[in-house]
């Protein structure tokens, strides 16, 4: 019976905790190490404990059973949550078990009579061996010099799992053989023997997770992996599932492995296939003293494998019927979806087959990955030229997928999903032979249209100049991204690059100089919104009434064509509610302009640092702004196609819409990491005094943790209503040093802006200060990632680590000048960005 803490009296709870502590002390006194060495054994009643005391290995009996098993369980939480079992199908019936390393180099479990109940592979030539339990819950057999090293293990429990997957456990799969390890459920909740259900990775086409019953009938599948999520699980973008990665094994090109890095290491998490076939993701709740299920699969009827049969589409919004046939198919007498019109591929008919797109769906099962196709057009050609091909899809992160058999297990999502192209007969696509009447009608219509075009050209000849200028812009645009400024990324390129240009295609609208001059009253001063390092920004109104903000590159700007192109391409490729939206651009003559959505409330600093306007920023508004900025940065760092470092995050680069929603702007200094790079070094320092991280300002090293530092500074500015660089007190030269002083003196509440102190949610404000201090730690290693920051901001019960001040935490402008001598730097002073070279 599961008893939560609400059913136990305080006195009884103290007794339970006391006896649990005594038990742990008793066990620890029996075994104070984490390894079994060659020739050593542990007997029933003894355990070994991992170095951090996270896991224990020893003998156990399930509830209501006297049978004995060797297993691994969590050491520091009440109860006995078992994660791995050695002899699951060969239990001992008495307390005489012995577990250790045999002379032949194998791990083995025997009874008092020497009967072997379970053994691992043997390694007779490996020499002196050690079996070590590590803090990931993995039990590793290796030579003594490699003890605990999973990279050089001879045998390890994670390669022979039972029913549980733990963070940092590697799930290996062989691409050539098409197999991987299986997780097999317990027989019942109290019987660890192999049960009726299993879960494994199917690497065919693109890897996906599959669960089976005992007859190898599919129950559920995740959809194909696209290097970010499993495509059949749009909910993976939540913080709880965002840590999966697919990695190439170092020593074998045919072998890859999945690994899950828990984004919140303070919270225990595990995945398991339950004895009833459900896959669960669970996390330990310290307050309730129990495991909490946060995800169950399958959890809806449409997640059940092939619920609607071949060529059927399941949609939970269509309840109670759920199922429908895809276009070109209909139900037969057996209630199955079949083609209405046979395909003509391979026949002598003049009619051709075509493809119909279906958007927002879970891709069908059992696909073939066609590596020879590099784009959607080539992928379509591959499928068109193969009469057995029934559908294709070109997916970012996967490439070209084709399907040769029936299309099974398709679900339509309300949000997310992929686009698949289904092969259909031409008549199902609206094709067919054109009649003579249609030919005559088309000819007459063409003559009328041609005459109309000639008349329109004569009638609106005065607008031809504008059309001609737009054409020239396209030519200028092509030339702008060639020559020494070309920023294409070749295949296999690694390291940071300024922007990623796919096929030199650009999103957005081309504006003529005439139209922007008209919209802004010839860039009149009355429409000027502000001026930064790029140049002036003017408000404009298009003929349809749409308000815009025009950012005009100044001839004297410290930012040049490189930054202009960087911002132009980068923002056009990004789509997020907390990033400013680029509408278009103008490149005409010497003019280079970017056109953005107009945000009525301008930038955050105009409110935050103005004593009269800051009254509009109550605590609720400030907290929502903090959360929005964090989510925007998380998108840049993790959820966009590549990892993007902003490098100039500050209050003046946070714009506010009419509802005070924040939008990150000014991407001229941003950098994109390509390949597997996590950090880079540069001699050209860009950013703003007071917001630069120490390692970036002093050594030129930047990474996602550089943005985290800038976010921490901005967070503390939002809470205090004080600008970091202009803050002065009797004991501090800037806001960050003042914050550390208050933190050290346990007075963080004094940092809160007096204008909101009485009415704010002090618990939230203090939690934000705590998060801010974690972000501005001197060491980049100690700072959290933005995924952890978002989780901490959105969780009321998150356990936050204590920040460490380390060295001097923040640099003022005088200190920065001393450090920067001899470096080329681009820095911002408040809102104005400029470039300079400081001599030696």
Active-site residues, by number, are 648
Q: Please state the φ and ψ torsions of residue 244, each to the nearest 5 degrees.
A: -75, 140
Which of 71-98 are b and which e, b meaning 16 or more Cβ less than 10 Å from the residue's Cβ? Answer: bbbbbebeeebbbbbbbbeebbeeeebb
Pairing of strands 410-411, 312-314: parallel
Q: At what angle do helices 786-794 and 619-634 cross, to 10 degrees?
A: 150
CA gap 810, 692 in Å, rounded: 8
Could you identify the residue written with the tokens 């640099």? 811
Q: 532: closest CA among 648, 372, 428, 396?
A: 648
Pairing of strands 391-395, 582-588: unpaired
Q: Quick check: 87 and 120 in contact, CB under 8 A?
A: no
Helices (H) and strands (E) in the chain, counts: 15, 50
Q: Which two tokens stand for residue 288?
A: 């309730």
Q: Which two tokens stand for residue 82?
A: 């078992």
CA gap 438, 443 in Å, rounded: 9
CA gap 102, 40 in Å, rounded: 9
CB within 8 Å of 486: residues ≥ 6 apart: none
CA gap 643, 31 in Å, rounded: 46
CA gap 298, 279 in Å, rounded: 7
Pairing of strands 662-664, 354-361: unpaired
Q: State the sign of the Cα–Cα–Cα–Cα dihedral 121, 126, 132, 133.
A: negative
**DSSP for residue 213:** -
**3-class SS at 550?**
strand
Backbone dihedral region for residue 770 (phi beyond 0: left; psi -120 to 50: alpha; all else: beta) = alpha
CB within 8 Å of 534: residues ≥ 6 apart: 551, 553, 554, 557, 559, 563, 564, 567, 666, 668, 833
Q: Which two tokens stand for residue 126?
A: 């490996």
Cα separation values, 177 from 160, 197, 365, 486, 505, Å: 18, 22, 18, 42, 39
CA gap 207, 203 in Å, rounded: 4
**3-class SS at 244?**
strand
**3-class SS at 156?**
strand
Q: What length is written for the chain?
A: 840
CA gap 228, 243 in Å, rounded: 9
CA gap 683, 707 in Å, rounded: 18
β-sheet bridge partners, residue 172: 257
Residue spans of beta strands (DSSP E) within 598-729: 643-645, 654-656, 662-664, 671-674, 679-681, 684-688, 701-703
CA gap 69, 109 in Å, rounded: 9
- Tally the C-alpha atoms within 13 A of residue 155's C-alpha that lie toward its C-beta: 20
CA gap 424, 353 in Å, rounded: 6
CA gap 695, 807 in Å, rounded: 12
Helix (H), strand (E) at residue 198:
strand 191-202
Cα separation values, 222 from 207, 249, 416, Å: 9, 23, 14
């Amino acid at each position: 019976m599961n008893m939560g803490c609400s059913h136990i009296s305080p006195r009884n709870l103290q007794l339970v905790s006391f006896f649990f502590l005594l038990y742990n002390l008793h066990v620890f006194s029996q075994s104070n190490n984490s390894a079994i060495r060659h020739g050593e054994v542990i007997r029933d009643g003894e355990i070994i404990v991992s170095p951090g005391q996270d896991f224990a290995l020893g003998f156990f009996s399930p509830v209501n059973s006297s049978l004995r098993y060797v297993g691994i369980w969590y050491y520091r939480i009440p109860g006995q949550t078992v994660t791995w079992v050695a002899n699951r199908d060969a239990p001992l019936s008495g307390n005489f078990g012995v577990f250790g390393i045999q002379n032949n180099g194998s791990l083995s479990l025997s009874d008092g009579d020497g009967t072997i109940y379970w053994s691992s592979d043997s390694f007779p030539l490996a020499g002196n061996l050690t079996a070590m339990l590590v803090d990931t819950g993995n039990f590793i057999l290796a030579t003594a010099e490699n003890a605990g090293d999973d990279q050089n293990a001879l045998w390890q429990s994670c390669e022979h799992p039972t029913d549980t997957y733990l963070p940092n456990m590697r799930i290996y799969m062989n691409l050539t053989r098409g197999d991987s390890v299986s997780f097999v459920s317990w027989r019942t909740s109290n019987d660890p023997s192999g049960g009726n259900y299993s879960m494994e990775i199917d690497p065919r086409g693109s890897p996906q997770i599959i669960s089976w019953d005992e007859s190898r009938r599919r129950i559920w599948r995740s959809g194909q992996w696209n290097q970010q999520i499993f495509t059949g699980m749009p909910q993976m973008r939540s913080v709880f599932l965002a840590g999966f990665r697919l990695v190439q094994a170092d020593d074998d090109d045919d072998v890859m492995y999945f690994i899950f890095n828990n984004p919140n290491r303070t919270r225990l998490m595990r995945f398991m296939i339950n004895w009833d076939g459900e896959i669960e993701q669970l996390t330990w709740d310290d307050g309730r003293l129990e495991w909490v299920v946060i995800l169950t699969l399958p959890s809806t009827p449409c997640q059940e494998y092939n619920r609607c049969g071949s060529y059927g589409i399941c949609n939970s919004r269509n309840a109670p019927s759920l199922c429908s046939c895809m276009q070109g198919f209909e139900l037969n007498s057996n209630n199955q979806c079949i083609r209405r019109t046979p395909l003509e591929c391979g026949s002598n008919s003049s009619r051709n087959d075509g493809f119909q797109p279906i958007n927002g769906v879970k891709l069908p099962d059992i696909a073939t990955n066609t590596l020879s196709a590099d784009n959607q057009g080539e992928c379509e050609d591959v499928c068109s030229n193969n009469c057995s091909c029934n559908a294709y899809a070109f997916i970012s992160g996967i490439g070209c997928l084709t399907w040769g058999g029936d299309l099974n297990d398709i679900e339509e999502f309300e949000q997310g999903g992929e686009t698949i192209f289904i092969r259909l007969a031409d008549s199902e696509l609206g094709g067919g032979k054109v009649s003579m009447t249609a030919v005559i009608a088309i000819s007459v219509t063409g003559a009328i249209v041609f005459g109309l075009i000639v008349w329109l050209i004569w009638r609106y000849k005065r607008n031809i100049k504008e059309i001609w200028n737009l054409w020239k812009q396209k030519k200028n645009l092509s030339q702008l991204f060639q020559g020494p400024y070309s920023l294409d990324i070749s295949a296999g390129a690694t390291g940071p690059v300024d922007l990623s240009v796919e096929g030199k295609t650009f999103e957005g609208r081309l504006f003529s100089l005439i139209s922007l001059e008209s919209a802004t009253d010839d860039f009149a001063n009355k429409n000027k919104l502000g001026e930064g390092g790029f140049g002036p920004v003017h408000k404009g109104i298009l003929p349809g009434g749409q308000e815009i903000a025009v950012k005009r590159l100044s001839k004297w700007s410290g930012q040049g064509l490189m930054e202009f192109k960087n911002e132009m391409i980068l923002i056009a490729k990004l789509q997020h509610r907390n990033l400013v939206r680029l509408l278009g651009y103008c490149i005409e003559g010497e003019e280079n302009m970017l056109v953005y959505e107009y945000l009525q409330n301008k930038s955050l600093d105009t409110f935050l640092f103005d004593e009269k306007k800051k009254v509009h920023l109550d605590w609720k508004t400030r907290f929502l702004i903090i959360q929005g900025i964090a989510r925007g940065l998380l998108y840049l760092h993790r959820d966009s196609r590549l990892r993007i470092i902003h490098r100039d995050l500050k209050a003046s680069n946070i714009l506010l819409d009419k509802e005070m929603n924040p939008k990150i702007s000014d991407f001229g200094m941003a950098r994109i990491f390509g390949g597997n790079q996590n950090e880079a070094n540069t001699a050209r320092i860009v950013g703003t005094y007071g917001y630069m991280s120490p390692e970036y300002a002093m050594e030129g090293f930047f990474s996602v943790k550089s943005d985290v530092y800038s976010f921490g500074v901005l967070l503390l500015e939002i809470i205090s209503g004080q600008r970091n660089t202009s803050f002065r007190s009797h004991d501090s030269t800037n806001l960050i040093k003042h914050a550390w002083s208050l933190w050290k003196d346990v007075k963080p509440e004094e940092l809160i802006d007096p204008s909101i102190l009485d009415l704010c949610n002090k618990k939230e404000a203090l939690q934000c200060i705590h998060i801010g201090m974690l972000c501005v730690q001197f060491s980049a290693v100690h700072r959290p990632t933005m995924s952890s920051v978002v989780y901490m901001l959105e969780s009321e019960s998150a356990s936050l680590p204590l920040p460490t001040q380390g060295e001097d935490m923040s640099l003022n402008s005088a200190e920065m000048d001393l450090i920067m001598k001899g470096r080329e730097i681009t820095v911002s002073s408040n809102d104005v960005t400029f470039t300079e070279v400081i001599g030696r």
